[in-house]
Structure 1
Amino acid sequence: MNFLFAWRYFKAKKSTNAINVIAWVSMIAIMCITFAFIVVLSVFNGFEGLVKSLYSSFYTDIRISAAKGKVITLTPDQLKQLRSNPQVAHYSLMAEEKTLLLNDGIQVIADVKGVDSNYKYVSGVAEKVYRGSFLTGNDDFPTLVLGNGVENALGVEADKNVFPLTVYLFQRGATINTTDPYRSFAGSNINTAGTFMIQADIDNKFAITNLAFMKRMMNLGADEYSAVEIALVDGRKADQVKASLQTLFGAKYRIETKYEQNKSLYSVMTMEKWATYGILTLMLIVAAFTMIGGLTMLVLEKQKDIQALKAMGADNRLIQKIFLSEGLLLAGLGAAAGIVLALIFCWAQVKFKLIPLEGGTFLIDYYPVKILPEDFILILITVIFVAVLASWFPSRKAALQPIELKT
């Protein structure tokens, strides 16, 4: 019954035209903010999905490294148990160290990863090679796949470089030779084979070669490695697999999921999204003040109706429900219109790429959007909560009006 009264009040012509104007203004404001809610959060989801997919090309589902120091020991028995884990699809052993790369006097510091032949099964780096090929060579003839930023800093084209680079890294267990510091470093020539491009943080830092070469350069033993990276059958079970592997390997090993390897990145993206949600919620609260004004004026307009309803036996609770329903109706219609417009806009952005990304330096040339059902639920809950708060005071004022009997 209360919604029936609310609908009649919404459609009925008011004696004061300002009430209609304020009601429509509040609806349009809620519509615009709901539209902005969905579009902005969907763009955040699109960028988040894009960034995660890029980082997923380099960072694997699980990484096992040393809790202290840089080297771990993996016995044949441990590797056998790792292979027998039904959740482990593939694993790759690696040796990684910060190195100095030289090209005809140009010096660049880069993290060089030595990987085995399984690396292409645990990461997507090989698919991100855009110049040359993903060839890491062997111990006798090593080749290097450079990140795009490292390649630019060295001033080479990896697939056309005639002269080899020189790589230096500090020898494990060596002490600094003050007379000839280079004697404390292992050095070797290495050719380049290709270039990968994933994301600037990765491209500017990493280069990849073969495991045997890096183990020799780092002076590692047969069972010694820097890390082992793992691809899971089901990446959603990473936390469960991490717990089982931690039991297998013990506290001396650091076991990290993909999220934990990039915790700061994911935290920043989450904070940005919630900060945007908070700003839009504040805008919605400001828009709700127009609803408060409109409902307050409607209460004054319908004083005679309130008196009549109370005279016929309506209690304060019913009167309050009527004007609460009026507020929810205004907010609901505005939110529904905003959702429809946002869905149309997001579909058009995906289909026709309405808004391009300026600069031309991105992997995509338009703003990505990704609509998530949980965003709709969150937005609807927020709109309803703000609408109830905005409607509470005018409806309470209407309910507490005394019955005045005129003689």
Structure 2
Amino acid sequence: MAKSTAPFSGFEFLIAWRYLRARRAEGGVSVMTWISLIGIMLGVAALIITLAVRAGFRAEFVDTILGSNAHVTVYSAQMEVEPGTGIYSNLMSDYAARAERIAAIPGVTRAAPLIRGQVMATWGERANVAEVYGITRENLETIPRVAHSAEAEGDIESFGQGIAMGSELARELGVTVGDTVKLISPNGVKTPFGTSPRVNAYQIVYIFTAGRWDIDRTRIYMPFAEAQSYFNREGGADEIEVMVTDPEEVDDYTLQLLQAGGAGTMLWSWRDASSSFLRALTMEDNVMFVILSVLVLIATMNITSGLIMLVKNKGRDIGILRTMGLTEGAVMRVFFLCGAFTGVIGTALGVGLGVLLALNIDGIMSAVNWISGGGAWDPSIRGIYELPAKLQAYDVGRAVGLALGLSFIVTIFPARRAARLNPVEALRYE
């Protein structure tokens, strides 16, 4: 009776490695091995690059939201201004006291009263719709993507003497720091003959780039007191912009914010504003992973084809090995290792290629943009200005685990077939 050997002994690795290094006469097996290896390498690389780009896009998108918008917006429901008057308004007349109470909540880093309104911005013959945020200079300086913009122009310290404007809006109007633009609001001065539009001219003292195309194209910051006068909000504020230390756990602040805000307080968080888009990103991530997993599966199936051919060509060798005392388990492990070697090597090369391309995605996109003549990445559609990539150990681990798992699974059938080959039948015609 054949004596059982320890699983995955050194001689099993030696035989498997020699079989993979097929002689020229057995070039068909060698070609199939190379096809399998290259297919797995490309599949794993594509999976890693896709996961890195999706993670980078999500991280950049969320960062532009949190870096230039409120984590939570506190506003008031419409309430009667004075009992019995029948006049309702959602203007916060006690905004200073509310902001002070909210700022005292542990974890809240800023509570800034805001005035919001829409205007038509004009300069010369050019015009565009803009959204105005009335805010104090001290609070404006705490907005990361605005106050610390890498491509900012002008001096934010001069904000009290003029307005701050997004870079895309400035580009479309053709203005720069020092120019004066006209802001036209349809809700202006109230006269006996109705409401007439309000037209005021303001000097641009600061131009920022927040990193989000829709923000840079529409947003204007105006000094808080001037915005109160311009939009007829004297003595009040439209909302309070709240920033917290941990935006991902923003829902934990709900109860405290409602209590600090008082009667009629309502909340709108960044998750509420972007939940549909973030859910769509998550669904797209899962779909892309499944699609690319199928590609990796197709690549690993070539291992099966190569092993079947290898088993057929090595039938005589299998018979000799069995007569020398190798067990079915040992033969099965030899051919399993043949497929596993291909999977491991292809996966390792795929990880190297995928990481290399992910780390250089900016240069690759620049080359694609240059070859295509521009427009390969349109910020008006994508929302952000560049294609980011964020390598995460979890994503790389998922890709490696998938490729190795599929490579090991598909080798079982041909390996079992080799193990069950009858040595007598294998040597009959030799």
TM over 0.5: same fold? yes
Report the equivalent of 2:169. Answer: 150
**1:7-56 deviation digits (Å, cap 9, x = unpaired):** 52232355733222212321122123323333444344445544444444
User: Is the 1:246–1:255 contact (alpha carbons within 8 Å) kept by the matching residues of 2?
Assistant: no
1:99 aligns to 2:119 (yes or no): yes
Extract unaligned runs of 5+ from structure 1. Answer: none
Q: Classify the secondary structure of the residue corresponding to 1:157.
A: coil
1:210 aligns to 2:210 (yes or no): no
| 1:9 maps to which of 11, 16, 22 | 16
| 1:261 maps to which of 257, 260, 273 | 273
Q: Classify the secondary structure of the residue corresponding to 2:28.
A: helix
Distance 2:240 2:176 in 1: 30
Change (3 A) 1:306 1:269: same
User: Is the 1:111–1:205 contact (alpha carbons within 8 Å) kept by the matching residues of 2?
Assistant: yes
Report the equivalent of 1:196. Answer: 208
RMSD: 4.2
Distance 1:149 1:248 in 2: 37
Between Structure 1 and Structure 2, how many residues are aligned?
A: 392
Q: Classify the secondary structure of the residue corresponding to 2:117.
A: strand
1:238 aligns to 2:245 (yes or no): no
1:79 aligns to 2:99 (yes or no): yes
Q: Classify the secondary structure of the residue corresponding to 1:92.
A: strand
Change (3 A) 1:309 1:79: farther
Change (3 A) 1:93 1:78: closer
- Look up the equivalent residue of 1:293 and give its one-letter code: S
**1:324-373 deviation digits (Å, cap 9, x = unpaired):** 443222101111122234445556x39x9576353689999997543211
Report the equivalent of 1:285. Answer: 297
Q: Classify the secondary structure of the residue corresponding to 1:121.
A: coil
- 1:380 Cα deviation from its structure 2 partner: 0.9
| 1:131 maps to which of 153, 165, 168 | 153
| 1:170 maps to which of 184, 187, 205 | 187
Q: How does 1:362-401 map to 2 (within 5 A)?
A: 369-398=389-418, 401=421
Change (3 A) 1:75 1:356: closer
- 1:96 Cα deviation from its structure 2 partner: 0.8
Please give the TM-score of this superposition, normalised by the length of structure 2: 0.74
Please give the TM-score of this superposition, normalised by the length of structure 1: 0.77
**1:72-102 deviation digits (Å, cap 9, x = unpaired):** 6465554333122221122221111112234
Q: How does 1:26-37 map to 2 (within 5 A)?
A: 26-37=36-47
- Look up the equivalent residue of 1:148 and give its one-letter code: S
Distance 2:331 2:410 in 1: 16
Extract unaligned runs of 5+ from structure 2. Answer: 1-6, 80-88
Q: How does 1:280-359 map to 2 (within 5 A)?
A: 280-303=292-315, 309=322, 314=327, 322-344=334-356, 349=360, 356-357=366-367, 358=369
Distance 2:267 2:283 in 1: 26
Report the equivalent of 1:118. Answer: 139
Distance 1:299 1:275 in 2: 37
Distance 2:339 2:78 in 1: 60
Distance 1:124 1:207 in 2: 14
Distance 1:40 1:157 in 2: 39
Distance 2:340 2:358 in 1: 26
- Look up the equivalent residue of 1:297 and give its one-letter code: M
- 1:156 Cα deviation from its structure 2 partner: 3.0
User: Is the 2:301–2:410 contact (alpha carbons within 8 Å) kept by the matching residues of 1?
Assistant: yes
Q: Which stretch shifts more, 298-307 or 287-296?
A: 298-307
Change (3 A) 1:136 1:336: same
Distance 2:301 2:67 in 1: 48
Q: Which stretch shifts more, 240-249 or 54-63?
A: 240-249
- 1:291 Cα deviation from its structure 2 partner: 0.9
Q: Which stretch shifts more, 325-334 or 70-79?
A: 70-79
